[in-house]
Structure 1
Amino acid sequence: MRSYFFLFLIFLLPYFCKAQIDTTYIKPFQDELSIRTYLAMKFISMEQAVDGEIKQFMPNAPMNLGLGVSVNNTIINLSYGYGLNFMKDKEKGKTKSLDFQIHNYGRKFIIDLFIQKYHGFYTADDNDKNIVLYPDLTIQQYGAFGQYVFNNKKFSYKAAFNQNERQLKSAGSFLLGGGVYFTKISSDSSFVHKTRNSLRNFQFGVSGGYAYTWAINKRWFASGSATVGANFGTERINDFGKQKIEIYPTFFPRIATGYNKEKWSLGLSYINNLIFSSFSESTNSNVGLSSGNFQIAYIWRFDSNPFWDKKKPKSD
């Protein structure tokens, strides 16, 4: 029950944090309702470095075809995705996954939630050959990340990633925030870290960065942002103050580009949240997780009641 209440507060947050905008820089679209179709690929991968040798464990997860709805040019975005399983490469094994992500771009605050559980990975060389399967490897990550957008009157994350408004002039903003994550990695024998076949990690910290959107012309735009930070972590929450606290670097880039017209838009976006889950001085090894989403979307906007003419006839 608490989790549903928490999600409810996240969706309502932008309504309580409304800010005035500079209309010479930002302009919402007039239509209240939009429908979007998209191709998306959610992912989580692991990179393990041991004595200079790097292994990248990848899931065999195809893209999803989905449909979404947004109301009042704001945050309500309900979507359903269908996995394109025919795109899977059978040589790369089977991956079972549960991947729930929320990326909420408000006026002042942006919030990202990750609930991910993947079972079954593979490794390959730079030419995508010499494939080795790890069907027993399971990676779980639960995380929340948030940042404050300082120049929220002139810079719009919504214009770049939701495309429910337009960035009329190029603008940027400094960002400040942080995140909290819990990670669990386990296997029967294929994953080894600190002489064990499992890893648990809890971490939290702060980050800062900068975002900028180029208004190329009236229709085209390109946007990019990057944040770096430091997290403090240990195996369990109860271990804080009792065991040595490790410090991990974090990196969270986002890019987007798109084309807007009054009634429709086309956009491409990519986000990638990189955190490190453990270091081991004795074995000279570290483990890093990369999670995020790649999406291509087509958005069609129309009036919330397109079958009713709002222009009432003049009375006699």
Structure 2
Amino acid sequence: MNAPDAAHSFRYQSNSPGRFGFSGGHDFLTLAGTFGVGTIDPLYSKEKGKTKQLNLQLAITGRKILADIYFQKYKGLYADADNFSVFNNGNFYIRPDIETRLYGTTVTLIDKSRKFTAQAPFLLDARQKKSAGSILYGGEFFTDRQKQTALLYHHC
């Protein structure tokens, strides 16, 4: 959150612990995700509150198209209490009610899909027999949503 006066701006952050991930795939589909494990991360601190997080990615690796679909959700953020003299009863200002979500997708189309294979490095079931190239067309789209159940207004 930025105020018009840069001296009064602050930043909420997630208390993201170290993460373990999983990935599973079959043929041209792959699903991957992560979950946090706070006990093994030296930067994770219980004083910063608890951040619930979910990260998912679906990858599609076809002959003519490459696509990724992303979803991230974080709930429970904190800010350094140095910026809040009124709330300076601890080291961090914790907001368990703030939630942020990110949705996104990337799509790439392969122009010369008969001569060029993009699947080989991902699926490891094919081989590029002859040197070839292709023009790739693509784009990406991301949007986010932020939600808080309680609103804090603090005028300095």
Q: CA deviation at 1:140?
A: 1.7
Residue matched to 1:68: 24
Contact in 2 for aligned 1:143/1:179 (Cα 8 Å): yes
Question: Which amino acid letter does the alignment assign opposite residue 140 of structure 1?
Answer: R
Q: Which residue of 2 aligns with 1:135?
A: 96
Change (3 A) 1:62 1:111: same
Per the TM alignment, residue 148 of structure 1 is displaced from its structure 2 partner at its CA by 0.9
Deviation at 1:118, TM superposition (A): 1.5
CA distance 1:55–1:173, change in 2 (3 Å): farther
Tell me the secondary structure at the aligned position of residue 39 of structure 2: helix
More strand by share: 1
Alignment equivalent of 1:101, drawn from 57, 63, 72 = 57
Give the C-alpha shift of residue 184 in structure 1.
Answer: 1.5
Q: Which runs of 5+ in 1 are unaligned?
A: 1-47, 125-129, 193-316
Kept after mapping to 2: 8 A contact 1:136/1:190: no
Shift of 1:64: 1.7
Decide whether the 8 Å contact of 1:159 with 1:165 is kept in 2: yes
Tell me which residue corresponds to 2:147: 186
Shift of 1:132: 5.4
* Counterpart selection for 1:86 from 14, 17, 39: 39
Q: Whole-Å Cα distance in 2 between the matches of residues 164 and 139 of structure 1? A: 39
Q: Which amino acid aligns with 1:147?
A: T
Maintained 8 Å contact 1:65/1:84: no
Q: TM-score, normalised by structure 2?
A: 0.57
Quick one: structure 1 residues 111 and 78, their matched pair in 2 at CA, closer, same or farther if it must change by over 3 Å?
A: closer
Counterpart Cα distance in 2 of 1:54 and 1:173: 46
Number of equivalent positions? 136
Structure 1-normalised TM-score? 0.33
Separation (CA, whole Å) in 1 of partners of 2:75 and 2:65: 33
User: Which residue of structure 2 lines up, in the alignment, with residue 29 of structure 1?
Assistant: none
Give identity over the alignment, percent: 27
What is the CA distance between 1:117 and its match in structure 2? 2.2
**Quick one: distance in 2 between partners of 1:138 and 1:68?**
28
Summarize the alignment of residues 1-316 of structure 1 with structure 2, pairs less than 5 Å apart. Answer: 55=11, 57-66=13-22, 68-70=24-26, 74-77=27-30, 83-88=36-41, 89-91=44-46, 92-122=48-78, 133-152=94-113, 153-154=115-116, 156=118, 158-165=119-126, 173-187=134-148, 188-189=150-151
Question: Which residue is 1:301 aligned to?
Answer: none
The CA deviation string for residues 255-306 of structure 1, in whole angstroms up to 9 with x for no partner, is: xxxxxxxxxxxxxxxxxxxxxxxxxxxxxxxxxxxxxxxxxxxxxxxxxxxx
Residues 82 and 169 of structure 1: is their aligned pair in 2 closer, same or farther, counting only changes over 3 Å?
Answer: farther
Cα distance, 1:166–1:104 mapped onto 2, change above 3 Å: same
Alignment RMSD (CA, Å): 4.0
